[in-house]
Amino acid sequence: MIYDEPRFLPGGDRYVLIEFGNEMNLELNFLAQGLASAIAQNKTKGVVETAPCFASMLVHYEADQISYADLVKELRGLIGNLGSPENIELDSRLFYFETMYLDPWTKACIEDYSAKITPKEYDPAFVARINGLKDEHQLVRVHSGTEYWVASLGFWPGLPFLMPLDPRAMITCPKYNPPRTWTPQGTVGMGGSASAIYPVATPGGYQLFGRTPVPIWDYERRFEAFGDSIVLFRPGDRIKFVTVDKAQYDDVEARVKDGSYIHNMVGYQKFSVKNYKAWVGSLDRSQRF
């Protein structure tokens, strides 16, 4: 649900988390991103930085400049002035990501976790089973069967938090218990209903089932698609995973290595919230690919 009143939750001496609702819903993400923009435009006193995510936003503030109570008052005012997301139309780039599902590297990572931390079922088989899919091959079809919305960046430099835009591709799974201490660079995985690409080898808690060789952060700025940023994505981008086999994966990886890889991105489309909602409303959500 979307709350009537946002919830303000303290995080120690320098953070407040603002929760707009408790589901995965594009409107909630627009509220979080909208509040972040409003704070930036308003230059709210004492705010050091913000981190909007799917249904909430974290504010980092400096208590010597604004008290917790005054900050909450300021933020309530800004939220009250946010318009409805209904009429938003925004430029949205679409990236095609060559991805090898059911790849040997994430399989090795899962086996390593099972051997060293705690035994667990092979992630793709597990996610397929708990979502009532026939097998991991149907999981691949469902997971790669939708565009994903980049709701935010976080966890690790450049990591995109992704929401499936087609409700027929909405699946869910728990996160690791306990989390992994490492994950291969470029791993594609999911937790809850969120998907992500791991930019580099990092710890992590998502279920794993694919890997992409396409770089999503570029410390040395070798690839044109990054422009003047070292992270590829920005909120409001979309991603479509394109399934590739090992030979295609190796080819892309070689191009990334020698610097000749060109990101497959289209930039002529606008995302209309109204059109999207109308389209979602027209679907039979019980269908599965």
Partner 1 sequence: MLEIIKPGLETSIQDYPGRIGYWNQGFPPSGPMDSWSFRLANLLVGNAAGAPGIEAQYMGPTIKFGADATLAVTGADMRPKLDDKPIPMWESLAVKTGQMLTLGPAVNGARGYVAFAGGIDAPLMLGSASTFHKAGVGGLDGHALKAGQSVPVKRANGTPGKKVKAERRPSFTSDKNWKVEAVRGPNDDWVDAAGHKQFLSFAWKLSARSDRTGYRLEGPDWTFTEKATNKAPEHGNFPSNIIDQGYPLGAVNLGGQTPIILVNDGPSMGGFICPWTIPSAAFWKLGQAKPNEFFHFNEISVDEAQALRRKLDAICSPDSIE
Positions in the binding site for partner 1 (CB under 8 A)? 9-17, 19, 22-24, 36, 48-58, 60, 63-64, 68, 152-159, 161, 170, 172-179, 181, 191-194, 199-200, 202-203, 205-206, 219, 231
CA-CA distance, 289 to 287, in Å (whole number)?
7
Comparing CB distances to partner 1, the nearer of 39 and 100 is: 39
Comparing CB distances to partner 1, the nearer of 100 and 142 is: 142
Comparing CB distances to partner 1, the nearer of 155 and 249 is: 155
Of 167, 122, 147, the C-alpha closest to 240 is 147
What is the smallest separation between the CB atom of 248 and partner 1, expressed in angstroms? 27
Comparing CB distances to partner 1, the nearer of 78 and 231 is: 231
What is the smallest separation between the CB atom of 246 and partner 1, expressed in angstroms? 27
What is the smallest separation between the CB atom of 230 and partner 1, expressed in angstroms? 8
Q: How far is CA 158 from CA 25, 70, 217, 219, in A?
A: 22, 32, 6, 11
What is the smallest separation between the CB atom of 169 and partner 1, expressed in angstroms? 13
Comparing CB distances to partner 1, the nearer of 107 and 175 is: 175
Long-range contacts of 266-269 (CB under 8 A, 24+ apart): 266/93, 266/94, 267/91, 267/93, 267/94, 269/91, 269/92, 269/93, 269/94
Of 151, 153, 135, 152, the C-alpha closest to 143 is 135
Q: How far is CA 106 from CA 22, 141, 185, 211, in A?
A: 30, 18, 10, 7
CA-CA distance, 239 to 84, in Å (whole number)?
25
Structure tokens at 267: 């930039």
What is the smallest separation between the CB atom of 45 and partner 1, expressed in angstroms? 16
Residue 155 is which amino acid? F
Comparing CB distances to partner 1, the nearer of 198 and 249 is: 198
What is the smallest separation between the CB atom of 25 and partner 1, expressed in angstroms? 9
